[in-house]
Amino acid sequence: MTARRWARFPCTSKPRSCEATRARRGPMNAETLELPIRDTRIAELSVKQVLPTPAWFLAARGDELPRGAPLARAVNGVPVVLYRDSTGRVAALEDRCPHKNVALSLGRVRGDTLQCWYHGWRFNRIGVVVDVPCHSPTEKIPACAVRAFPAVERDEWIWVTLGADGAPAEPPSYPRDDAYGWFELQNVIHAPVDLILENGLDCSHTGFAHEGLFRSAPRDDIRARIEETATGVRVETLDEHSAGAKDVRSVLGRRQQIRHVDEVILPHTLRVDYWIGDHAHVVTILVATPEDEFRTRVYTRMGVRYGWLTPLVTRYVRWVTQKVVAQDIAILNSQGERIRRYGRREFRNVTADLPAAWMQRAFRGFLDGRYPSGPLRTREITYKL
């Protein structure tokens, strides 16, 4: 800020010059107070978004946001505070008070408004300041606001989009079918979104990173069909059987045919389906929300259908999944740390990495606004699994 500007707004800082100016002009009045806080540019400022796309991002589970208490989240790199108004509807505001930049999530919910902890300014659900408790008798409420974002609660998940332009009209829907047993996990992983999606799509690590738990050591040649879709990449693993070992696929599969499809839905979602025999089905929906470039919050929703054994098998799948996810987190944290330390990625892909390579190509194209472009491709590969 220039010296000229300080002279114009004498009471925003610099106490000595402020005193001098006050002595020249006489006592402060409402006009001099209003000038600096009428500066509304703060409402337009924002931190850099991690993924340059106007998608809907998963910000929280519905049951994480009770009435009366705000919740702080970082959504695609932007600090966001969520709260419920008096009707229970979710509001999402940028988590920075326009008065002195304290996090609004430290404050409290008052009726339909959110009140900042520091000086008690209150904001409505569209971010407009509606009350400044310490004001002079003639002072108007300053014309400033905090950014408000569209927020939708759907299927027990709260979705937020940071830029209305270009985002789909509604967030995706992942309802929980009553015929299934369901559970959810939430983890913070110190790795970028695309490496987390790649991990979910990568079968060739499962016989090692999760040996004896999820899959056993590679044994048979299997085929996989990789397809580009309008929304990402789909990989169907063909010829897959349970191996008769003690891992979860063999226990549930009991030597039956397994149909296994992984699908990345850009820019942040992975869906995994295992159909076992004619009736059993395990579905995973993983949604990754970047908090910063190397920190991602991952929401996992899993459903299990296994006939009359569904409740028991759901508990078993949950137990195994928690162990498998802990192993993946350790690996992804290590991968993220090494890439950060070396400042770059240097990957050497083999045939089994082609699903991940196709996903990476689609991911980068999507972020550049170039995917899909041209005819969608398909390819079949064979590798030992």
Backbone angles phi, psi at 104, to 5 degrees: -65, -25
- From the list ligand FES, Fe ion, none, which binds 377 (C-beta under 5 to 8 Å, kind-based)? none
Q: Which is nearer to ligand FES, 42 or 97 (CB)?
A: 97
- From the list Fe ion, ligand FES, none, which binds 235 (C-beta under 5 to 8 Å, kind-based)? none
Instruction: Report, in Å, the least distance between residue 256 CB and Fe ion.
Output: 23
Instruction: Report, in Å, the least distance between residue 81 CB and ligand FES.
Output: 12
Instruction: Report, in Å, the least distance between residue 96 CB and ligand FES.
Output: 9
Q: Which is nearer to Fe ion, 214 or 371 (CB)?
A: 214
Q: Which is nearer to ligand FES, 100 or 370 (CB)?
A: 100
Q: Nearest residue by C-beta to Fe ion?
A: 328
- Contacts for 279 with CB less than 8 Å, ≥ 6 apart: 305, 306, 307
Alpha helices in the chain, H assignment, sequence order: 3-8, 15-25, 30-37, 193-201, 206-209, 248-253, 310-342, 354-367
Instruction: Report, in Å, the least distance between residue 103 CB and ligand FES.
Output: 9
Q: Which is nearer to ligand FES, 117 or 319 (CB)?
A: 117
Q: Report the first-to-last Cα separation within the chain, whole angstroms.
A: 63
- Contacts for 215 with CB less than 8 Å, ≥ 6 apart: 203, 206, 207, 243, 247, 249, 385
Q: Which is nearer to ligand FES, 132 or 213 (CB)?
A: 132
- From the list ligand FES, Fe ion, none, which binds 118 (C-beta under 5 to 8 Å, kind-based)? ligand FES
Q: Which is nearer to Fe ion, 132 or 339 (CB)?
A: 339
Among 375, 75, 335, 34, CA closest to 202: 335
Considering only residues 116 to 175 of the shown chain, the ones binding Fe ion according to CB under 5 A are none
- From the list Fe ion, ligand FES, none, which binds 191 (C-beta under 5 to 8 Å, kind-based)? none
Q: Which is nearer to ligand FES, 42 or 243 (CB)?
A: 42
Q: Which is nearer to ligand FES, 72 or 167 (CB)?
A: 72
- Which residues in this chain contact ligand FES in the complex, by CB under 6 A? 97, 99-100, 102, 116, 118-119, 121
Instruction: Report, in Å, the least distance between residue 209 CB and Fe ion.
Output: 5
Number of residues that bind Fe ion (CB under 5 A): 1
* DSSP secondary structure of 202-216: -GGGHHHHTBTTTB-
DSSP 142: P
- From the list Fe ion, ligand FES, none, which binds 5 (C-beta under 5 to 8 Å, kind-based)? none
Cis link prior to 267 (omega < 30° from 0)? Answer: yes
* SS3 of residue 325 by DSSP: helix
Using CA atoms of 166, 167, 170, 176 in order, give the dihedral in degrees to the nearest 10.
150
Q: Quote the CA–CA distance of 177 and 182 in Å, as a whole number.
A: 9
DSSP 368: T
Which tokens sit at 180?
């299934």
Considering only residues 324 to 343 of the shown chain, the ones binding Fe ion according to CB under 5 A are 328
- From the list Fe ion, ligand FES, none, which binds 328 (C-beta under 5 to 8 Å, kind-based)? Fe ion
Q: Quote the CA–CA distance of 78 and 103 in Å, as a whole number.
A: 12
Among 359, 318, 322, CA closest to 201: 359
Instruction: Report, in Å, the least distance between residue 82 CB and ligand FES.
Output: 18
- Which residues of this protein are in contact with Fe ion, per CB under 5 A? 328
